[in-house]
Each structure stands twice: as structure tokens, then as C-alpha cells.
């Protein structure tokens, strides 16, 4: 018997998702997800996980509620760990209670993982506190998802109109006219402030504010569409002073990261701190090579090398992983000098107790080669990817050094990440794409014709970590608008923020 986790995906911004929710996604065999769950969350799922979309939009349901419940039960009975990923919180108008009851009646183990409700998060991202001392001592949440042609409402409008606190209506764009009519009919002042927030917490967030007297017309003029949250009450007036997220540089931008998921944390965090929605779509994967006799031989004779030169953090991690299997550690490098191509590689070495003797000012192979005090007949070991630029070896060989390349890993296309990126680009959901190596570019291009590549990136800002990556992009006819001056993820993130700030008028035209 498997288990079902009813998981709240929050209002959209993946920064508002709980650690417990992410843990469930990472370990699930099956993810059954909604229209309102941010697709970026699917990048946290295992590559082999089964993804089943059961989104419900106005006039279009992929599966009925009963069919969804049946699906959860069937997959759990197959012995699988199932995540039912629901926008907001499962128990706040999310029909989580119905699904939990269906599971309980069938004897299926389940857990509820609460999520941040859009009822409070969406107003907060619009600069509207649902309660405020001296203005609103309570707030009330209602579902407005009622058919417009329905003659009898389930809501007690007479009582609702008399409430003194903040009124929050979920999913009410298409019934807004009815909401306004009923409140006015039962005595609410037509000067009561109202705000309608579309896709709150997401790059598509759009806010229309007014009063009960004009909000319907204002919303029509702005062409707001579901999903949206309607907030009614005096707290709406605070928005002019508290609209914090709209002042962040990357608010309204969705950024795709193409490097492997386990190497995205720093770049993602800096971008998210400036309100970007980050989509992790790796175009490459790192596949360590097994501890072969060739690798074993070189690791057992490290003392014979004058220099050990690392050209990537990946190489460092895999190198020390193999050393550990041989019951060796950093002391095995004690008779050699060590070089690192850049800050991140040096930082990874430091985690293993090694402070490199050489780190070039520019993080490219040519600068690395020139920074080494290599003499004729020096022996140099270069643990790196099986396929990589050979500029380092050529320059060192010209200096008279004996260079031994030790292939530790392969860089291969990540078909799942490439597929996600292509689909998001086709849907025009991506504003900025980052590339952190030539291989991230070439891997994507390998699955696309030149015409399709140009079409997908039309109107998209391309950000490159450095000149070699930019060169790979230009060879494919793609022009990077952003290039990091220092070739690290942190400086790439800062370059993106600076570029958006300098071109704000262009982006918001």
C-alpha cells in the first residue's frame, strides 16, 4: 500500500512553498497537480516521477472530482507515493476535505501538508493587509466560484454586507458583477474600496483598485482574467503605501536557469530575492564516470604530479568522491600544487581542506594556464569532463609540461529539462534565459533547428555567464543582452538585475 500527500502549493510564488511540501515532491512517484500550482515546482520532482495534470479552468475540466479521487486511490493501491499538489491550501476551498474523506473511506494512508492560502498571500503581494489596527479587526473568506446563471446563491449576502471586517472572495472575476450587486443591494456603501488581483504573487500579477461603484467597469477595461482574488474593505486604501513587491527590480519576470538543478541554488536565491519567478530547466546533466582502473591508477600516484589543475567545481566533487572510495583524503595532494579555474571551483576545493595555489583573475582556461608557474618537464594532472576545451593542455604543453587529462565525468543533454524549457518558451512564459556554459547552449541547440531556435527566443532576454558562453550563443545566431563581468552565478544574477534596472522603460513599455 502506498500513501497520498495532499500538498498545498501556495499561491504561486515558489518561495512561499514549505520545506515539507518540497520534500514530498522530491520523494513522490506520482504527482497529480492543478492549474493553479506553479509549474516551476515540478522541477523538484524526481526525473522518473509520473506527472498527471488535472487542472480545472472555467469551462474546461481534464478530470471530474470523482475521477481525481479514483486516480489517487488507484495509484496508492499500486504501492506508490502520491502527491496531490493543490494551489493555495488544500482545505481552503481546495476540495482537499473531499479527497481526504475518499481516501479515508478506502483505507488509504494520507497526510495533509498545509499551504499558504491565496486569501492572505495575494492581498499581501498587492500591498493590502487583510487586517489592520483601527481599520479591520477581522477578515472573512468566501468562494465566489458560482455560476453566473445560478438563481439562488449559497452565500448569505444580507449577513455578508453587514460585516465590518475585510471581505476576501476567491475565484470571483466572472461573478464580480454579481458580488457587487448583492453587496450594494444589501446596504454596502458604493464608496467601499475594492481591489481585484489577477495571478497574485506571480509575474502575471495585475491589480485593479477602485470602489464598489466602479470596480466592475475598471476590471473589464483592464481585461482581468481568472484566477483572481477580490478584496473589499478599507484596508485596500493602504495599497498606495504598501505595494512593496512592485518596487522590486525583477517583479514581473520569469527567469529560466539551464544549469543542473543541484548547481542552481545561489543563482535562484539571488533572483528570487528580487522577486523573479525562477524556473529550473537544466539543459545538461553531469554523469560521473565510475572508478575505473585508469582513474584509480592516477589517484594512487598523485604524488608524482607537480600540479593538479581543476577546471570546474564538478571535477572537484567527483575527484574527492573517488578519493573517498579509495580511503584517501586531501592529504593525498600534499606533494602537489593545486590550481582552480575560478572562485566557485576554489570554494569547492576549500570544502575539502584545499586552498589552491593559483586562481586566475579571469575564469577561462587561457588565464588559468598563464597563472601557473609551470616549468619544463613539470607533470600536470587535469581532472575534468571527458569532452571539453583543450586550450589549457595546449598552452601548458607549449611551455614544456607533461599534461595528463583524467576524464571524470560526461556532460550529457538533459532531455526532461530541455523539454520543459522549450514548452515554456513556446507558451511565451519566459522573459529571461540564463546560460552558464557553452555546453548548456549547445545541448539545447542540438535538439532544435536554427529557425525554431530563433523563433523560441524571439523577445526573450538572454543572459550569459561569460565570453565563451556568449561566443557559443552567437555562433547559433543568439545575441546575449547580458554578460557577467566576473564569471560566477552570483555576478550573473547581479548583471541581470542591473540590466533590468537600466532598461526598465523598455521592459514595461
What does the pLDDT look like over 17-76, one tens digit per residue?
999 999 999 999 999 999 899 988 998 898 889 999 998 765 556 789 999 999 999 999
Checking if the pLDDT of 150 tops 80, the result is: no
pLDDT at 457 over 60: yes
**Residue among 391, 400, 319, 332 nearest 360 (CA):** 391
49 and 109 share a domain?
A: yes
The phi and psi torsions of 406 (rounded to 5 degrees) equal: -115, 100
Q: In the predicted model, what is the mean pLDDT of the chain?
A: 92
Q: Domain boundary residue among 68, 94, 116? A: 116
Query: Domain range spanning residue 494?
Result: 254-283+414-507
pLDDT at 378 over 60: yes
Closest CA to 319 of 340, 306, 335, 87: 340
Which of 245, 268, 295 is the last residue before a domain boundary? 245
Q: Give the pLDDT of residue 144.
A: 80
What does the pLDDT average to over 348-359? Answer: 93
CA dist., res. 382 & res. 329, Å (int): 18
What confidence score (pLDDT) does residue 391 get? 84
Please confirm, yes or no, whether 34 is among the known catalytic residues. Answer: yes
User: Where a domain ends, among 195, 218, 245?
Assistant: 245
Same domain, 223 and 191: yes
For a pLDDT cut of 70, what percent of the chain falls above it? 96
Residue 139 C-alpha cell reads as 477578515
Distance of alpha carbon 166 from alpha carbon 163, whole angstroms: 8
CB atoms within 10 A of CB 412: 13
pLDDT at 83 over 80: yes
Q: How far apart are CA 394 and CA 370, in angstroms?
A: 12
pLDDT, position 382: 94
Question: pTM of whole model > 0.85?
Answer: yes
**Cell matching residue 259:** 544549469
CATH of the domain at 373: 3.40.50.10090
In the chain, DSSP finds a helix count (H) and a strand count (E) of 20, 22
Residue 311 has pLDDT above 70, yes or no: yes
Which residues lie closer than 8 Å to 498 by C-beta, 6 or more apart? none
Q: Are residues 305 and 405 in the same domain?
A: yes
Contact 336, 367 (CB under 8 A): no
C-alpha cell of 54? 488535472
Query: Are 129 and 123 in contact, with CB atoms under 8 Å apart?
Result: yes
| Residues forming beta bridges with residue 7, ordered by sequence position | 85, 113
pLDDT at 394: 86
Over residues 261-283, the mean pLDDT reads: 94
Residues 409-427, mean pLDDT to the nearest whole number: 93
- pLDDT score for 59: 53
Split at pLDDT 50, 70, 90, the class of 395 is confident
| CA atoms of 131 and 81, how far apart (whole Å) | 39
* CATH classification at residue 50: 3.40.1010.10
pLDDT at 187: 95
Residue 282: count of CB within 10 angstroms of its CB: 25
- How far does the chain reach from its first CA to its final CA, in angstroms? 55
- pLDDT of 209 reads 97
Of 34, 277, 306, 414, the catalytic one is 34
pLDDT confidence of residue 500: 96
Same domain, 301 and 275: no
Residue 496 half-sphere exposure toward CB, CA atoms < 13 A: 37
Question: Which comes out higher in pLDDT, residue 264 or 362?
Answer: 264
**Catalytic site residue from 171, 202, 306, 378:** 171
pLDDT at 250: 96
Residue 149 pLDDT: 54
Query: 136 near 37, Cβ under 8 Å?
Result: no
Provide the pLDDT confidence category of residue 402 given band limits of 50, 70 and 90.
very high
Let me know if 159 is exposed, middle or buried by CB neighbors in 10 A (0-12, 13-18, 19+): exposed
> Which entry of 3, 56, 80, 261 is annotated as an active-site residue?
56
- Shared domain for 387 and 435, answered yes or no, is no
Residues 59 and 43 in one domain: yes
What local confidence, expressed as pLDDT, does residue 61 receive? 61
Helix (H) or strand (E) holding 228: strand 228-232
Binning pLDDT at 50, 70 and 90, where does residue 504 land? confident
- From start to end of 386-467, where are the E strands? 402-413, 432-435, 461-464
- State how far Cα 413 lies from the chain centre: 19
366 burial level (CB within 10 Å; 0-12, 13-18, 19+): middle
Sequence-distant (≥ 6) Cβ neighbours of residue 448 within 8 angstroms:
422, 456
1 catalytic per annotation: no
276 and 421 together in one domain? yes
Q: For 115-126, what is the mean pLDDT? A: 97
Q: Into how many domains does the chain fold? A: 4
Same domain, 434 and 338: no
Please check whether residues 275 and 296 belong to one and the same domain: no
The torsion angles phi and psi of 286, rounded to 5 degrees, stand at -100, 120
356-367 confidence digits (pLDDT tens): 998 887 666 777
DSSP state of 43: G
Predicted local confidence at residue 449, as pLDDT: 86
How many residues are listed for the chain in this entry?
509
* In the chain, % of residues over pLDDT 90: 80
Task: Indicate whether 508 pLDDT > 90.
Answer: no
Q: Residue 439: is its pLDDT beyond 70?
A: yes
Residues 241 and 127 in one domain: yes
Q: What is the CATH number of the domain that holds 128?
A: 3.30.950.10
CB atoms within 10 A of CB 57: 12
**190-243 pLDDT tens trace:** 999 999 999 999 999 999 999 999 999 999 999 999 999 999 999 999 999 999
Residues 261 and 292 in one domain: no
- Mean pLDDT of the region 184-189: 96
Do 208 and 96 belong to one domain? no
The CA-based diameter of the chain, rounded to the nearest angstrom, is 93
Distance CA 246, CA 278 (A): 17
Q: Is position 171 annotated as part of the catalytic site?
A: yes
pLDDT level of residue 375 (50, 70, 90 thresholds): confident
Amino acid at each position: 500500500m502506498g500513501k497520498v500527500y495532499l500538498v498545498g502549493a501556495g499561491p504561486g510564488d515558489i518561495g512561499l512553498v514549505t520545506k515539507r511540501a518540497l520534500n514530498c515532491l522530491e520523494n513522490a512517484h506520482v504527482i497529480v497537480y492543478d492549474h493553479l500550482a506553479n509549474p516551476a515546482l515540478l522541477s523538484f520532482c524526481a526525473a522518473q516521477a509520473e506527472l498527471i495534470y488535472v487542472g480545472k479552468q472555467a469551462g474546461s475540466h481534464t478530470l471530474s472530482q470523482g475521477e481525481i479521487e479514483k486516480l489517487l486511490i488507484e495509484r496508492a493501491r499500486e504501492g506508490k507515493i502520491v502527491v496531490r499538489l493543490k494551489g493555495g491550501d488544500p482545505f481552503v476551498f481546495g476540495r482537499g476535505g473531499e479527497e481526504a474523506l475518499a481516501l479515508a473511506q478506502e483505507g488509504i494512508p494520507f497526510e495533509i501538508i498545509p499551504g499558504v492560502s491565496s486569501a492572505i498571500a495575494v492581498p499581501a503581494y498587492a500591498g493590502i493587509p487583510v487586517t489592520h489596527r483601527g481599520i479591520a479587526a477581522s477578515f472573512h473568506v468566501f468562494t465566489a466560484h458560482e455560476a453566473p446563471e445560478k438563481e439562488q446563491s449559497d452565500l448569505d449576502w444580507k449577513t455578508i454586507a453587514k460585516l465590518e471586517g475585510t471581505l476576501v472572495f476567491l475565484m470571483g472575476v466572472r461573478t464580480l458583477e454579481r458580488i457587487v450587486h448583492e453587496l450594494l443591494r444589501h446596504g454596502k456603501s458604493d464608496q467601499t474600496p475594492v481591489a481585484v488581483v489577477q495571478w497574485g504573487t506571480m509575474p502575471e500579477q495585475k491589480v485593479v483598485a477602485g470602489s464598489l461603484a466602479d470596480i466592475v467597469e475598471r476590471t473589464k477595461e483592464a481585461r482581468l482574467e481568472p484566477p483572481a482574488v477580490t478584496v473589499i474593505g478599507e484596508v485596500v486604501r493602504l495599497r498606495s503605501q504598501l505595494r512593496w513587491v512592485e518596487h522590486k527590480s525583477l517583479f514581473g519576470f520569469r527567469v529560466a536557469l539551464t544549469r543542473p538543478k543541484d548547481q542552481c541554488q545561489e543563482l535562484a536565491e539571488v533572483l528570487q530575492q528580487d522577486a523573479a519567478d525562477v524556473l529550473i530547466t537544466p539543459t545538461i546533466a553531469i554523469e560521473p564516470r565510475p572508478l575505473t582502473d585508469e582513474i584509480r591508477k592516477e589517484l594512487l600516484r598523485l604524488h608524482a604530479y607537480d600540479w593538479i589543475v581543476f577546471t570546474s567545481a564538478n571535477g572537484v566533487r567527483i575527484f574527492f568522491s573517488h578519493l573517498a572510495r579509495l580511503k584517501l583524503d586531501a592529504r593525498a595532494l600534499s606533494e602537489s600544487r593545486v590550481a582552480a579555474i575560478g572562485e566557485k571551483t576554489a570554494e569547492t576545493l576549500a570544502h575539502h581542506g584545499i586552498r589552491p595555489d593559483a586562481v586566475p583573475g579571469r575564469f577561462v582556461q587561457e588565464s588559468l594556464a598563464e597563472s601557473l608557474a609551470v616549468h619544463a618537464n613539470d607533470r600536470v594532472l587535469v581532472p575534468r569532463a571527458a569532452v571539453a576545451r583543450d586550450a589549457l593542455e595546449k598552452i601548458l604543453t607549449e611551455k614544456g609540461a607533461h599534461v595528463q587529462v583524467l576524464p571524470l565525468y560526461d556532460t550529457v543533454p538533459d532531455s526532461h529539462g530541455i523539454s520543459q524549457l522549450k514548452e515554456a518558451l513556446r507558451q511565451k512564459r519566459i522573459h529571461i534565459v540564463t546560460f552558464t556554459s557553452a555546453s548548456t547552449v549547445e545541448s539545447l541547440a542540438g535538439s532544435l533547428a536554427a529557425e525554431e531556435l530563433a523563433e523560441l527566443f524571439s523577445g526573450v532576454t538572454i543572459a550569459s555567464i561569460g565570453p565563451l558562453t556568449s561566443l557559443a550563443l552567437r555562433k547559433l545566431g543568439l545575441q546575449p543582452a547580458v554578460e557577467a563581468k566576473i564569471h560566477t552565478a552570483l555576478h550573473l544574477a547581479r548583471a541581470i538585475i542591473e540590466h533590468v534596472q537600466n532598461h526598465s522603460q523598455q521592459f514595461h513599455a
